[in-house]
Amino acid sequence: MNYRIKDISLADQGQAQLEWAELHMPALMSIQRELERTKPLKGVRIAAVLHVTKETGVLMKTLKLAGAEVSLAASNPLSTQDDIAAALVKKYEINVFAWKGENEQDYYDNIRSIVETKPQIVMDDGGDLHAYLHENNLYSNVIGGTEETTTGVVRLKAMEEDGVLKYPVIAVNNAFTKYLFDNRFGTGQSAIDGVLRATNILIAGKICVVAGYGWVGRGIASRLRGLGGRVIVVEANPLRALEAVMEGFEVMTMKEASKIGDLFITATGNIRAISKEHILNMKDGAILANAGHFNVEIDVDGLRKMAKSRRIIRPYTEENVLSDGRRIYLLADGRLVNLAAGEGHPSEVMDLSFSNQALSVLYIYQNRGSLMPKVYDVPQDIDERVAKLKLDSMGIQVEQLTKEQVEYSKQWRYGT
């Protein structure tokens, strides 16, 4: 065994958390039962850089029970749940290198540690592991990999276009059952949960500014409205902006929105969606949170440099006092607020995402040799199988098409 974690004695507490997650991950559990029986990944070395949460724990356990040798590092310095790390080490012999509150050096050291296991399949959340392997020419053993996030997929596609990608990667993020449920429903709820745990503010009556109207942004916008907020959307793409307008949201530039917002949440996937200039427009008491993968969407450095004083007023809530006395509140250092100030996605959401992960890992291994060094979508039948497993677990029946109806959809002749 090889590991580096905070406190192994937290294993029992972590085990209870894993059981709680398993109760809410019926699709992945049904896959786990099958893989444990058939052991299709016997002896395969897998390295994963993922948020070390109870749901990731269930995924890692699933791969381990399927026969694999599994190593795990954190995809974010603040997102590790130390009890889960302990349980994975002690109860399931998974090599974990992660703890809550890693510094930047630790973070990269831990990635290096799992790379030293010479992984055959690599799983990533954000693209740092894939980038590390490529920049250091450490991909020779790698059959293929998966990528969990939009951010990571964008990076991998850029690599593919530059002709430097060295192994096939399945973009789990592009599964319908991932991007829709994880990004929209998962982050929609959990980002707000993170804001509420950090601040305990009332959403009703607040002017809430959401930057970015991709799946994450629209999930957040919808939930803020559902809690009584008045929601303003800032978006660069005219198609998305128009959709937001038609959903009844106000749409304007951040330059305008920054003057009136009470709460700002970024989900653009881009840098400085909230800049120093925007912050200078803001009202006393404005709250800034980020729900995007990287902590670049809010100009944190710019804010702190402008502040004449700074303190932590509540856990994850940093007060920055501007020179004229206005107070600006930054949550979770501008890191993704649902993980840093909350517990990340609910297990039910990760059930879908991680069912796709488990089946994609299996797919890569079973199709080794026949895949190109490209970014692949999750195969459609995996996607639909995951949806079906979930509906079954909820006791919900889809409509069964009649033979006549199946026929009908294939016709094109005149007069049908």
Q: Which is nearer to a copy of itself, 42 or 204 (CB)?
A: 204
Who's near 120: CB < 8 A, 6+ residues apart?
A: 44, 45, 46, 141, 142, 143, 365
Q: Which is nearer to a copy of itself, 70 or 87 (CB)?
A: 87
CB of 67 to a copy of itself, least distance (A): 29
Q: Which is nearer to a copy of itself, 140 or 416 (CB)?
A: 416
CB of 278 to a copy of itself, least distance (A): 11
The annotation status of 270 as a binding-site residue, yes or no, is: yes
Q: Which is nearer to a copy of itself, 203 or 298 (CB)?
A: 203
Q: Find the largest Cα–Cα distance for the chain.
A: 75
The annotation status of 218 as a binding-site residue, yes or no, is: yes
**Closest of 140, 89, 102, 143 to residue 121, by C-alpha:** 143
The annotation status of 219 as a binding-site residue, yes or no, is: yes
**What's at 336, amino acid-wise?**
L
Going through 23-68 in order, the beta strands assigned E by DSSP cover 45-50
Inter-axis angle of helices 347-366 and 11-23, nearest 10: 90
The annotation status of 126 as a binding-site residue, yes or no, is: no
Who's near 229: CB < 8 A, 6+ residues apart?
A: 203, 204, 205, 206, 207, 208, 263
Q: Which is nearer to a copy of itself, 42 or 308 (CB)?
A: 308
CB of 329 to a copy of itself, least distance (A): 9
SS3 letters across 231-279:
EEEECCCHHHHHHHHHCCCEECCHHHHCCCCCEEEECCCCCCCECHHHH
CB of 166 to a copy of itself, least distance (A): 13
CB of 2 to a copy of itself, least distance (A): 24
The annotation status of 149 as a binding-site residue, yes or no, is: yes
The annotation status of 53 as a binding-site residue, yes or no, is: yes
The annotation status of 338 as a binding-site residue, yes or no, is: yes
Q: Which is nearer to a copy of itself, 117 or 295 (CB)?
A: 295
The annotation status of 245 as a binding-site residue, yes or no, is: no
3-state secondary structure of 316: coil
Q: Which is nearer to a copy of itself, 69 or 83 (CB)?
A: 83
Going through 256-377 in order, the beta strands assigned E by DSSP cover 263-266, 287-290, 309-314, 317-321, 327-331, 375-377
The annotation status of 199 as a binding-site residue, yes or no, is: no
The annotation status of 151 as a binding-site residue, yes or no, is: yes
| Element (DSSP H or E) covering residue 146 | strand 144-147
In whole angstroms, give the CA distance from residue 393 to residue 216: 26
Q: Which is nearer to a copy of itself, 47 or 231 (CB)?
A: 231
**What's at 211, amino acid-wise?**
A
Residue with tokens 């991680």: 354
In whole angstroms, give the CA distance from residue 339 to residue 78: 8
In whole angstroms, give the CA distance from residue 141 to residue 118: 6
CB of 183 to a copy of itself, least distance (A): 12
| Element (DSSP H or E) covering residue 160 | helix 150-161
CB of 410 to a copy of itself, least distance (A): 6
Q: Which residues are annotated as a binding site for substrate?
A: 53, 125, 148, 178, 182
Q: Which residues are annotated as a binding site?
A: 53, 125, 148-151, 178, 182-183, 212-219, 235, 270, 291-293, 338, 345
Q: Which residues are annotated as a binding site for NAD(+)?
A: 149-151, 183, 212-219, 235, 270, 291-293, 338, 345
